[in-house]
Structure 1
Amino acid sequence: MSKKPKVAIVMGSDSDFPVLEGCLNILKEFGVETSVTVCSAHRTPDRAAELARNAESEGYDVIIAAAGKAAHLPGVLAAYTVLPVIGIPIKSSTLDGLDALLSIVQMPAGVPVATVAINGSENAALLAVQIMSGAYPELRDRMHAYKKKMAEAVDRKNEQLQARLRGAAQ
């Protein structure tokens, strides 16, 4: 039996879940197996370390970690694993997520965390798919189809706009 692509999604708080729904939907669309866990870098640091240490042996290919405010979760997980970690800064404070973005993107040398936009869970999922597509060629094929579908949607919108403009010019 061949292995399926698998992503661990970890959030610092259950209040982050609404942002992560887009991520989950995209991973499901691509046929990627997921698990979702609430785990805090500050309140449950031992569990965060254990989760990261065991992720590779449990068959995960990528970890997606979402956190707001101080947002240390992605970096803590990255410190304990060799798997790629994608950080999603969550807009959750008076700084509109800028604090989380800077916390995630400013990692020290040797502990990389790929970082997407504030609340950018869809791009985190797509980046995970692209990372895994080297090991799972079917994901690359699905990504080609996904991008083609996006381009077709833009073309349809342009055609509708052009028709509307032609109607307004008459």
Structure 2
Amino acid sequence: MKAAIIMGSDSDWPILETAVKTLEEFGIATEVMVASAHRTPDKVHTFAATARERGVKVIIAAAGAAAHLPGVVASYTTLPVIGVPINSTPLNGVDALYSIVQMPSGIPVATMAINGAKNAAIFAAQILGVSEATIEEALRRHRETMAVEVEKKAAKLLAKQ
């Protein structure tokens, strides 16, 4: 199973690096690309249109400002696309959020929170886990670990009282 991550600028990498690490924790291979919907449209088209041929099953697309990249990617493939709006403007990412979430009917993009790359990776794993038992098991273990961590924090807080 493979997921692809595309971002509009290398300045988005500090946010998207979390997605790569999270996908790797679930045993999901990744490929990463930097391409602009506006400045390198042919590269974006080739990336999205050939993703299935490369074994990609889900795409995470991140962009800031006008944030057209996730929608453009979705227009070139029938693979699930998960959009991550990036906080890169004085509008604190709200412009990107609106751009991604307001896709026209027929070309959906699942939209995460602003800078929500980790949730994008977990959602990608959930999509892949539908047909891959090892990924589903890794997701189950991840949730168990989170629950244990919450209980440890709660106990630590109670001990201080």
Alpha-carbon distance in structure 2 between the residues aligned to 1:135 and 1:82: 17
In structure 2, runs of 5+ residues without a counterpart are: none
1:35 is paired with a residue of what secondary structure?
Answer: strand
Aligned counterpart, 2:115: 119
Describe how 1:7-156 pairs up with structure 2 within 5 A. Answer: 7-156=3-152
Post-superposition Cα deviations, 1:44-64, rounded to whole Å, max 9, x if no partner, equal 111111111100111100000
1:43 is paired with a residue of what secondary structure?
Answer: coil
**Structure 2 length normalisation: TM-score?**
0.99
Alpha-carbon distance in structure 2 between the residues aligned to 1:117 and 1:10: 17
Aligned counterpart, 1:168: none
Residue identity over aligned pairs, in percent, reads 53
Task: Give aligned pairs, total.
Answer: 161
RMSD over equivalenced CA pairs, Å: 0.5
Post-superposition Cα deviations, 1:22-69, rounded to whole Å, max 9, x if no partner, equal 111101111110011100000011111111110011110000001000
Alpha-carbon distance in structure 2 between the residues aligned to 1:45 and 1:21: 23
Provide runs of 4+ in structure 1 moved above 2 Å.
none
Which structure is larger by alpha-carbon Rg, 1 or 2? 1
Post-superposition Cα deviations, 1:52-111, rounded to whole Å, max 9, x if no partner, equal 110011110000001000000000000010000000000000000000000000000110
Alpha-carbon distance in structure 2 between the residues aligned to 1:25 and 1:105: 25
| 2:99 partner amino acid | S
2:16 is paired with a residue of what secondary structure?
Answer: helix
